[in-house]
Chain A
Amino acid sequence: MSSYGKIIRKKDLSILQKTYIPEILKGLRITIRQMFRPTFTSQFPEERFKPDSSFRGRPVLVVENGVERCVACGLCARVCPALAIEVQAAETELEKERYPLKFEINMVRCIFCGFCEEVCPEEAIVMSDEYLLVFSSQEEALFGKEKLLKSTEDLKERLEFLRSHR
């Protein structure tokens, strides 16, 4: 790459270069060498890509000691730019006093911005590393509490990432 950025005029070329043939052979050498290099393709359904902890997959509710952390404050529903989250609060005997009776994310609307995770005071809703979302109807895309709950062990990497980037 010694000539990179220099203007090459036709009169500067040697006779051999003007015949194109050695230059074409050089190019052929490069393409043939390229053929035997390892490919970057990942064979999708068999080979799954494991995202980094900074990846924002579908949002999930964190479950700690068998109970979700969520106190149903409604901030996530408030901040959601796509209006995808719906929360209904109820009272409970536990220390946190409130829990979500209904927590529903419309996954057709969700834009994976991660605002809900950022705004949550309890670190109760985080973005997981799941990216395979397939629905065949609008109703199927409404993820209720049963689909959203995920234990802390499964979300360890993301929670650590969030703490180190606070």
Chain B
Amino acid sequence: MYLNSRKYIPSISTALIGLAIFILVPFQIDLSMVNGNNVSGVDARTLPYFLSSLIVLLSVVEIINIKRKERVEEYKKMSKTQYMNIFRVCLTFIAIVLWIVLVPYLGFIIAMIILLVSVMLLMGNRSWLQIILVPLLTSFLLNYVFTTFLGRTLPTGIFF
């Protein structure tokens, strides 16, 4: 049952997101401040209403299509390795979020070195020479190109 229902998850998710957007429209688009008559019959809410309904409709059609093809495809249970790999993606996401949080304190170079070391380790790199050199070179080079050549300002922290 679990394996059969898994293939519906993406379409059910898009349908639910569509529905959520439809419900959110009046809360997120406040028309009370708009003055005058709307002669065109189309306002700021029309397109979001139409699109969210369309997403729900198309997702339902997709669910029906999957149901039709049900016999052809067989879904295998995810292995422990696959779960671990998805877990690594989640950790990478967290590492980037932490980069956004920490960069005002640590500055671009240090925060980027920490991020790159983490991602390299998550991707299975165990060569210490590479783990030291690649983040250092990348961070300093990008910082130099953007600040010196391109005249952009990158975040600086407590240290530099």
The answer to whether A and B interact is no
Q: Name A's B-contacting residues (CB within 8 A).
A: none
Q: Name B's A-contacting residues (CB within 8 A).
A: none
